[in-house]
Amino acid sequence: MRTRAVVRGVVQAVGFRYYAQAEADRLGVAGFVRNRRDGAVEVEAEGDPAAVSAMLDWLAHGPPSALVESVETSELEPLGETAFRIDF
């Protein structure tokens, strides 16, 4: 299972990407996180459906320094990735 999530709110300059990477590593989720030019954070999470679901639950609130207003998701075809990275 692979899901793209666009997280909006106060999600840049608050360590969101680093916390997201730590959470993905904890859950065993592959994919990436990156800042978007529109101020949102984009995440693609791939792995076991329960782990991806747990990652989406985490994205709904993010780290303590963030203020998540919304999360838009869409399903994607899995790519077979095995690690989670921060894209710049």
CA separation (Å) from 54 to 27, 37, 43?
A: 8, 26, 13
The fold adopted by the segment(s) 2-86 is: Alpha-Beta Plaits (3.30.70)
Segment 6-41, tens digit of pLDDT: 999 999 999 999 999 999 999 999 999 999 999 999
Q: What is the pTM of this model?
A: 0.96
pLDDT given for residue 73 in this prediction? 98
Query: Which residues are catalytically annotated?
Result: 17, 35
**Average pLDDT along the chain:** 98
